[in-house]
Amino acid sequence: MSEDAPLSREAFVERLRAEGARRYHDGHSFHQRMHRGELSQREIQGWVINRYYYQTRIPIKDALLLSKSEDPGFRRLWIHRITDHDGAREGEGGLALWLRLAAGVGLDPAEVAGLGRVEPPVRFACDAYVTLVRERSLLEGVASSLTEFFAPDLMSRRVAAWEAHYPWVDQGTLDYFKSRVTRARTDSHEAIDFVTAHAVTRAQQEACVAALVRKCEILWALLDAVEKAYPPAEKSARGACRG
């Protein structure tokens, strides 16, 4: 078989799964420490403040994706992703739920919504996701959303860890993650169907893998920046002694 022959659907899906699984941010030390219950309230708050910026970029990148499609069928399929985050009315949707989570970890939701405490490298990483979707093809943009393939397991682990290890969190505010488990599963299946139907050449398949890899790098860079800005307590104490 020629090197340029397209992979079968099965082999292509397996390749995406393997590349994503190796790089997904569930393996990042910040998430691992979160799951082991090792984060302080300040570290959790830092994550919530900064991840909110990621959440705000999602409906913007989905609007860009919609604008790239000539197909009403695709637009009908995809458009709910904007309302999922923005809600059908003020106070509804994923962004509102995230702000409830912010209150649940002891933050002022209005301050989080103001984005004034977002670290510059977090902005840079999240904006890179929007840029990727703006500058690459519709197919690559959809492929970059395939990290959601891995999100349901991570969110389930996160809910279990927060319930077990962070009793000071208002547990009623974990609804965002609970609601995303099913949603992310459906969304990623829609995206995989689209990608496998439209990546018909080997070059297109490779471009999809590359977009997914870049998205994993973006999510990883976000956590690197959070970890740097909110170091573990003993590390910051040691830093303070030296300083």
Ligand X SMILES: O=C(O)c1cc(C(=O)O)c2c(n1)C(=O)C(=O)c1cc(C(=O)O)[nH]c1-2
**Does the footprint of ligand X cover residue 221 (CB under 6 A)?**
no
**Does the footprint of ligand X cover residue 148 (CB under 6 A)?**
yes
**Which residue among 147, 173, 196, 205 contacts ligand X (CB under 6 A)?**
147
**Which residue among 44, 48, 58, 102 contacts ligand X (CB under 6 A)?**
58
**Does the footprint of ligand X cover residue 154 (CB under 6 A)?**
yes
**Which residue among 45, 50, 145, 196 contacts ligand X (CB under 6 A)?**
145
Q: Residue 80 Cβ, how far from ligand X at the closest point, in Å?
A: 12
**Can you give the chain as a three-state secondary structure string?**
CCCCCCCCHHHHHHHHHHHHHHHCHHHCHHHHHHHCCCCCHHHHHHHHHHHHHHHHHHHHHHHHHHHCCCCHHHHHHHCHHHHHHHCCCCCCCHHHHHHHHHHHCCCCHHHHHCCCCCCHHHHHHHHHHHHHHHHCCHHHHHHHHHHHHCHHHHHHHHHHHHHHHCCCCCHHHCHHHHHHHHHHHHHHHHHHHHHHHHCCCHHHHHHHHHHHHHHHHHHHHHHHHHHHHCCCHHHHHHHHHHC
> Which region, judged by CB under 6 A, interacts with ligand X, from 71-79, 145-153, 159-167, 196-204?
145-153
What is the x/- site pattern for ligand X, positions 84-123, by CB under 6 A? ----------x-----------------------------
Chain residues that interact with ligand X, rule: CB under 6 A = 58, 94, 145, 147-148, 151, 154-155, 180
